[in-house]
Structure 1
Amino acid sequence: MPKKRSGGGLTTTQQAAKFLGVAALSGAVLAGIALPAAGALGLAAKGTVEGFDEIPSNLKTPPLSQRTTILDNEGGAIATVYSRDRTVVPLKNISPYMQDAIVAIEDSRFYEHGAIDLKGILRAMNRNVQEGGAAQGASTLTQQYVKNVFVEEAGDDPEKVAEATQQTIGRKVRELKYAIQVEEELGKKKILENYLNITFFGQQAYGVEAASQRYFSKHAKDLKLEEAAMLAGLVQSPTRYDPVNDAEEATKRRNTVLTRMAAVGSISQGEADKAIATPIKLKVSKPKNGCITAVSGAGFFCDYVRKTILSDTAFGKTAEDRTKLWNLGGLTIRTTLSPRAQQAANEAATSKVNKDDKVAASVVQVEPGTGKILSMGQSRPYGLDQTQHETVLNLAVSNELGGSTYGFQVGSTFKPITAAAALEKGIDPAQSYSSDWKISVPMNSYRNCAGSPVGSGNWDLQNELESEKGAYDMTSALGKSINTYFAKLEQQAGLCETVTMAKKLGYERGDGKPLSDNHPSITLGGTESTPLGMASTYAAFANRGTFCTPIAIEAIKDANGKKVDVPKSSCSRAMSEKTADTINQMLKGVVEDGTGTQAGLMDRDNAGKTGTTNDRVDAWFVGYTPNLSTAVWVGADVGKKVPMYNITIGGQYYDKVCGGCLPGPIWKTAMTGALSASETPSFNPISVPRAKEKEKDKGRGDNNGGGGNEDSDADPIGGITIPPGFIGGNNGGGNDGGRNGRNGP
């Protein structure tokens, strides 16, 4: 049984002070806190002793920084992150050998003295005198614990750490007063528990549980005698006695601990001799810290979770508060990541684009109706080794959350938003416009939300092919991605209405700036956004017109198991169900016999839209089923934009990349892998009116739009000839997106 502490009474202190030749201490100090052995700390100056009373009496013990574990939506670990690799455990979960070893080597009279060990101080002073003044410490475990609290509170601030560890009278005085408080309030067992959880054991391991895992790959409660002695020996100098780098020094130090344990009666001499004869047997677990170690290729998603916590005011009013929460750790974060969807996204992103290609691919998936982000995959692996083409740039998200500076122009994937705005205004989907393949539109025919013309002069734009001229209705214009049609539709629907619809659908710029209502080219995808933004926008179509903000975090518990409030997805109606059903029906035509035939899923209802930008520097396919929305982007991720003409990507040559021929197949792979064969919900059926001349056409025709595909013959549709071998019309805002994007026409 541990012996009861003696407590530092007035008489003892006065005797100690007199013995040590120190000026008499004030009665107030002695009566209030019973300052023991003041002279041993060099408190000969009266002012210093009086200053003792002025030190705050309550030690602010910060919560210990621990590991944070990030889980997928099935409870599997994605990654662990920490600023301190530590897992706090109660004393009952620490081997008795470990408890005895640390007491024996660091403070063998721990259970006998108070906050200060007077005998130890006198012994140290005597030895210092005998050895010519060499400094020998006499800090108790309690004092060491207090010092470690100072260091923990300093965090990673070098100046604060230096202040917490400097060998000055002032620090020792503070340490002493707080040690007295800790002794009075916590008691020996709790002090020992706290000490073993806060102490640094080398190899990035803080606390005995992390140290036990690091060196022996076992829990602290399972430590054997010789293992506990080795860990106890590390405390004095974790670098010098590191068993990984110097087994000989570590063995000597371990044996010193074992000898000391026998000397103080913690173990028998026979036990010590047997343990001394046992070689150190390590089973080292290398530290796995941060998103760079995330499993299942989920590094980008993991980093998105981190940046969400660091940027969202739901996790702290200030950046400092949020950083403190993250660095403190000890969190268990359950995310929305689906292991199945993530695997599918990874496979899809790398199926057509190699990590060392000039361009990269991004795949992100969102669940309609919940906003849950199910996956984030990229063709380049997550990491810092550029020689292996690794990157930490998350191509799926905004700049604020780790993405590119601006995001990427979305090309014709924006056109369904214009169509939705038109339908909400009452424009019939059978609305037909006739034009040449090139047109010039007066800028003053577009007005912003203030009612002002957005410019003077004309906006010149064109379709992909000279053959793309004549009359189109909304369905066929979506199917073939006709630029001229959507420029005119935006005129009739209204630029302000189009931008307003985009905002309702969560469409945001990748650089975080407000969406402008002064650029008509937005209808052709001239304004940058992100793959996550597009997947979320299209999820609203799948959800019959209700947009839900994307979320990556479902629940968080702190180190004590208490729930931390997390932001929920906010859902709001962006359009009527009828409008969404009509969009779904028209976009089904894109994958059935429009520009996206190479993306179409044969076993379920699906819809989507292709997109490319000027000079084909960005290529997209965004599509969905009723229960999954996926956006795929391909383009240059760093440096200059890469026109995707006459280019080899993923080992395949393309004379020109289009949204249907590269992002489309990637999308199909991602969707096929993520979706369960047993879940095949359907879109709400609706009859979409068509232009009369189209209804009469029996060529390529249908109620879902014209178009052409790679295997099509030259079929006349409404007087327009589709050239053989034509893949996917314009596929985007191609001929104006890049030119008229950021600055408008």
Structure 2
Amino acid sequence: MDYSKNGIVKKHKLLVSSGRRISTKLVINIFRIFMLFLLLIGAAGVSLGLGVVSGILEETPEVEQISIAPSGVSTTVYDSEGNEIEKLVASGSNRIPVTLDKVPDCLQKAFVSIEDERFYEHNGIDTKGILRAGASFFMNGDMQGASTITQQLLKNNVFANGGSESSFGELVKRKVQEQYLAVELEKNQSKAVILENYLNTINLGAGCYGVQAASKRYFNKDVSELTISESAVIAAITQNPTKYNPINHPEENVKRREKVLNNMKKNGYITEEEYQEAIADAVYDRIQTVSVESEQDSTPYSYFVDELISQLLTDLQKQKGYTYEQASNLLYSGGLSIYSTQDPQIQEICDRETSDPDNYPGNVYYSFDWKWSVQRADGTTENYSNVDLTYYYKNLLGQSDFKLIYSEKEDIQNCIDGFKAAYTKDGDVSLGETIMYSLQPQVSFTVMDQKTGYIKAIVGGRGEKETSLSLNRATHSPRQPGSCFKVLAAFAPALDACDMSLATVYNDAPFNYSNGRPVQNWYKSYWGLNTIRHAIEQSMNIVAVRAITDVTPELAYEYLLNFGFTTLVGEDDADNYGGANDVTQATALGGLTKGVYNEELTAAYAAIANGGTYIEPVYYTKVTDSNGRVILEANPQTRQVLDEDTAYLLTNAMHDVVTEGTGKLANIDNQYVSGKTGTSSDDYDIWFSGYTNYLTASIWSGFDENTDITKYCGNTSYHNRLWSKIMKEIHDVKGYTYEEPEKPDTVVQANVCTSCGYLAIDGVCDSVKTEYFSSKTIPTESCKCHIKYTICTVSGKLAGEHCPQDVLETRIYQTTFQGKNSYDKDAVYALPSEIQNGICIIHTQ
């Protein structure tokens, strides 16, 4: 600043100048007008806001009219004919009410400390919490909850869609009403009543609702017996019952539990000594022990209902934006009506036939799932399972061929007893043991309507189903598809995108993968020149690998993704699998990193059956609420994965599989069946995936633990008979008549030479077939591999002009022969060198 005399005089002149005064007044007036404008807008906004709030509050029920007690209405599942097939256990059914005087103070304070620290101070709304959350959001972008326990109780028990509103307007409406009712509720009810209802309402994971059910589930004790440490575990769950589930995600629960304990100590609810004792407690060992004893379910859902539940939970989250907890609450306690795609007749046939031991060869075998928890003398807990059994017998005892497969349950018990004898120490106390048996070999079966995507029936295993949401071998157990993949990975893209046809010829001769390893045929020999049609019919490995090599594994991989497979491993993900991926030549033979699901293989074949249009498998048609309003409709993804003519050609070729080829045992009388067999390496997995004009179905069979099926069962063809038996009975019961697929106008016929795939020449080509073609790939050139020669039988050379007629013979040879090895069935047709070397020199005049 200039504080000199001249500076002060200069500033004074500026202040008293008329121009300066006018300018200053103008700025002041503009500022006043602007502020007035802001005040008017603010007043209008407040007035509008008050009007909106007033309107919302007019629709708010009186506090005397609401019930804050937990409730839940079961959901009903119907089959495609409207029959009730299941009552989904309402959330409340796994809720054990308990009065507050039975809830230990440490558990009450644990929830208050983590969910609503000022619960005993506020009037239903935590103003400080709201300001804190707002400041955190504007300063750090961090979203923090500010709902009180009272508000959470209202959201869960009063507002039907609490937390799952479909619009911002509905959310605002619910929040305004919730806060209003929270204040009114606290005027009418004590903190004790509010807290009691809250503790009986909340979702605490693993199907538990309320603290008593959670205490029983996780610690196998009454809630009144919970310690501070155990209380903190349970209180840690409620913010996200999936993420903080102490059984499935103990590493996440432990972080949240520590925050609970820190808050309890900060708020003076526990001492430093109690805090340290709780922190040091090995509480998760006890949770795992109880989990072992609590896994069995007396009323398990069917495999179909299991998968229906899974799809609905996914769709509610994807289509409606629900969280998992919101979707689960709605599904189990929303009083919904679910209309499924299950056909009761088809499901009954599948269940009955897959369970019939007469449909399987040899003896019955058993595998088992075993868990055992033991407390050592020093108080530590050890948990053992099948993994430990296998390590003990295979690694420590050197039984390299050890497998968890036995013909008698008594032998299984002897196996377990041997392990326990080796691992039991003085002073040990067994805390719990469970064992679940599974029949072997196992099976999965899926039936799908290719025109709608509806899953008509599904079987996830044979033998008694002991738990809900258990292993479903049709949807959650990836297995190697073997030769079922030849059509999808090699021949489909070859015909669809690479200008090949069913008449395209490959040489079934020695061929190596790019790494130098030879490709082996299942028949342990070579069959020479063969068309793609014949390669499909006879499941020829070398031809399939040659085809995918020409197609390129990259293009094959893209087609497989388009067919709907989700378990494939791309090159970008190879590092997670030790460098292995499915963009390889071996993919043509179903040699995959992880395998595929039966359901997805069925959907892929259904796409071929449906003229090349893929439809995502679906288990329901619609879901309605208790008022009959549709809240969810099935909207499966559809896409064209093959041209219609390609689909028809593959269908026609795969019909040969069941009439002339490897799948004869799967054929059905009086039905047009197309399909493909599949057997994985070492005979671990056997498949048949096929279809009629009505339905597509896939069967898998094998041992849960990779095992040579031939060793135990004697053959690998029983599944083809079972597929045929099930599908024949289904078609008979449903009254399906014989119907061939409709041939597209773009499919035409031509007579071709089967040794080269070009148009046959009458009298020259010795092997001619009338073949179907896409109009885009029908050959226009004549046979290039056969030539007719007149031979002098005396010299063995081409006949000259002087050779007598009685020594002449007409012969046909292959001039573009692809190999002359003795193993090749076409070797006899090769053009001999003596003929190539000239004309008869015996008859010269």
Superposition deviation, residue 469 in structure 1 = 2.9
Cα distance in 2 for residues equivalent to 1:291 and 1:720: 63
**Cross-structure match for 1:64:** 71
Equivalent of 1:692 in 733, 739, 753:
753
**Cross-structure match for 2:445:** 363
Does residue 553 of structure 1 match 2:624? no
CA contact 2:682–2:708 (8 Å) conserved in 1 = yes
**Cross-structure match for 2:550:** 492
1:598-650 C-alpha deviation (Å, 9 max, x unpaired): 0011202110000001101000000001221000000122xx311112323xx
Does residue 602 of structure 1 match 2:658? no
Of 672-681 and 498-507, deviating more is 672-681
Superposition deviation, residue 681 in structure 1 = 2.9
Residue 727 of structure 2 aligns to a residue in which SS? helix
The 1:489–1:690 alpha-carbon spacing in structure 2 relative to 1, beyond 3 Å, is farther
Larger relative contact order, structure 1 or 2 (CA cutoff 8 Å, min sep 6): 1
**Cross-structure match for 1:299:** 302
Cα distance in 1 for residues equivalent to 2:748 and 2:354: 36
Does residue 345 of structure 1 match 2:350? yes
**Cross-structure match for 1:643:** 708
**Cross-structure match for 1:374:** 456
1:624-678 C-alpha deviation (Å, 9 max, x unpaired): 01221000000122xx311112323xxxxx2x41xxx222112112211222334
Equivalent of 2:494 in 407, 414, 422:
422
Cα distance in 2 for residues equivalent to 1:514 and 1:345: 37
Superposition deviation, residue 379 in structure 1 = 4.3
Equivalent of 1:327 in 329, 332, 335:
332
Matches for 1:5-84 after TM superposition, within 5 Å: 61=68, 64-84=71-91
The 1:564–1:153 alpha-carbon spacing in structure 2 relative to 1, beyond 3 Å, is same
CA contact 2:754–2:767 (8 Å) conserved in 1 = no
Cα distance in 2 for residues equivalent to 1:396 and 1:720: 43
Superposition deviation, residue 391 in structure 1 = 9.0
What is the identity, as a one-letter code, of the residue corresponding to 1:519?
A: T
1:105-153 C-alpha deviation (Å, 9 max, x unpaired): xxxxxxxxxxxxxxxxxxxxxxxxxxxxxxxxxxxxxxxxx99978975
What is the identity, as a one-letter code, of the residue corresponding to 2:471?
A: L
Cα distance in 1 for residues equivalent to 2:643 and 2:297: 41
Superposition deviation, residue 428 in structure 1 = 2.2
Matches for 1:652-663 after TM superposition, within 5 Å: 654=714, 656-657=715-716, 661-663=717-719
1:152-198 C-alpha deviation (Å, 9 max, x unpaired): 7599xxxxxxxxxxxxxxxxxx999639769xxxxxxxxxxxxxxx9
The 1:62–1:429 alpha-carbon spacing in structure 2 relative to 1, beyond 3 Å, is farther
Identity %: 22
Equivalent of 1:440 in 499, 504, 512:
512
CA contact 1:62–1:152 (8 Å) conserved in 2 = no
The 1:148–1:539 alpha-carbon spacing in structure 2 relative to 1, beyond 3 Å, is closer
CA contact 2:502–2:532 (8 Å) conserved in 1 = yes
CA contact 2:752–2:770 (8 Å) conserved in 1 = no
Cα distance in 2 for residues equivalent to 1:153 and 1:486: 61
Equivalent of 1:309 in 309, 312, 318:
312
Of 487-496 and 604-613, deviating more is 487-496
Equivalent of 2:693 in 603, 621, 626:
626
Equivalent of 2:738 in 660, 680, 699:
680
RMSD: 4.3
Cα distance in 1 for residues equivalent to 2:444 and 2:826: 35
What is the identity, as a one-letter code, of the residue corresponding to 1:65?
A: G
Residue 529 of structure 1 aligns to a residue in which SS? coil
Superposition deviation, residue 374 in structure 1 = 0.6
CA contact 2:671–2:737 (8 Å) conserved in 1 = no
Residue 471 of structure 1 aligns to a residue in which SS? strand
The 1:148–1:462 alpha-carbon spacing in structure 2 relative to 1, beyond 3 Å, is closer
**Cross-structure match for 1:431:** 504
The 1:176–1:488 alpha-carbon spacing in structure 2 relative to 1, beyond 3 Å, is closer
The 1:505–1:150 alpha-carbon spacing in structure 2 relative to 1, beyond 3 Å, is closer
Cα distance in 2 for residues equivalent to 1:498 and 1:151: 51
Matches for 1:128-167 after TM superposition, within 5 Å: 153=157
1:429-488 C-alpha deviation (Å, 9 max, x unpaired): 21111132x4213x2xxxxxxxxxxxxx32432101233331111011011111100111
Residue 440 of structure 2 aligns to a residue in which SS? coil
Does residue 668 of structure 1 match 2:703? no
**Cross-structure match for 1:479:** 537
Residue 82 of structure 2 aligns to a residue in which SS? coil
Does residue 408 of structure 1 match 2:479? yes
CA contact 2:505–2:754 (8 Å) conserved in 1 = no
CA contact 2:557–2:583 (8 Å) conserved in 1 = no
**Cross-structure match for 1:29:** none
Equivalent of 1:518 in 583, 594, 601:
583
1:502-559 C-alpha deviation (Å, 9 max, x unpaired): 1222123179997956322111111211110011000111111111011111111112
Does residue 470 of structure 1 match 2:548? no
| Runs of 5+ unmatched residues, structure 1 | 1-55, 87-145, 156-173, 183-197, 199-203, 207-289, 398-402, 444-456, 649-653, 705-716, 722-745
CA contact 1:348–1:363 (8 Å) conserved in 2 = no
The 1:689–1:299 alpha-carbon spacing in structure 2 relative to 1, beyond 3 Å, is farther
1:690-730 C-alpha deviation (Å, 9 max, x unpaired): 8624697789x9969xxxxxxxxxxxx99389xxxxxxxxx
What is the identity, as a one-letter code, of the residue corresponding to 1:322?
A: A
What is the identity, as a one-letter code, of the residue corresponding to 1:430?
A: A
Superposition deviation, residue 493 in structure 1 = 1.7
Does residue 587 of structure 1 match 2:590? no
TM-score scaled by length of structure 1: 0.52
Cα distance in 2 for residues equivalent to 1:494 and 1:531: 25
What is the identity, as a one-letter code, of the residue corresponding to 1:78?
A: I
CA contact 1:70–1:80 (8 Å) conserved in 2 = yes
Corresponding pairs, count? 437
Superposition deviation, residue 384 in structure 1 = 2.4
The 1:505–1:373 alpha-carbon spacing in structure 2 relative to 1, beyond 3 Å, is same
CA contact 1:350–1:378 (8 Å) conserved in 2 = no
1:6-30 C-alpha deviation (Å, 9 max, x unpaired): xxxxxxxxxxxxxxxxxxxxxxxxx
Cα distance in 1 for residues equivalent to 2:679 and 2:152: 58
Residue 711 of structure 2 aligns to a residue in which SS? strand
Cα distance in 2 for residues equivalent to 1:669 and 1:470: 35
Q: Which has the larger radius of gyration?
A: 2
Superposition deviation, residue 347 in structure 1 = 2.8
CA contact 1:430–1:690 (8 Å) conserved in 2 = no
**Cross-structure match for 1:392:** 470
CA contact 2:91–2:329 (8 Å) conserved in 1 = no
**Cross-structure match for 1:217:** none
Cα distance in 2 for residues equivalent to 1:306 and 1:345: 20
Superposition deviation, residue 375 in structure 1 = 0.5
Cα distance in 2 for residues equivalent to 1:376 and 1:538: 16
1:244-272 C-alpha deviation (Å, 9 max, x unpaired): xxxxxxxxxxxxxxxxxxxxxxxxxxxxx
What is the identity, as a one-letter code, of the residue corresponding to 1:598?
A: L
The 1:514–1:606 alpha-carbon spacing in structure 2 relative to 1, beyond 3 Å, is farther
CA contact 1:541–1:580 (8 Å) conserved in 2 = yes
TM-score scaled by length of structure 2: 0.47
CA contact 1:429–1:690 (8 Å) conserved in 2 = no
Residue 676 of structure 2 aligns to a residue in which SS? strand
Cα distance in 2 for residues equivalent to 1:413 and 1:62: 56
Cα distance in 2 for residues equivalent to 1:147 and 1:496: 55
Cα distance in 2 for residues equivalent to 1:532 and 1:683: 23
Residue 559 of structure 1 aligns to a residue in which SS? coil
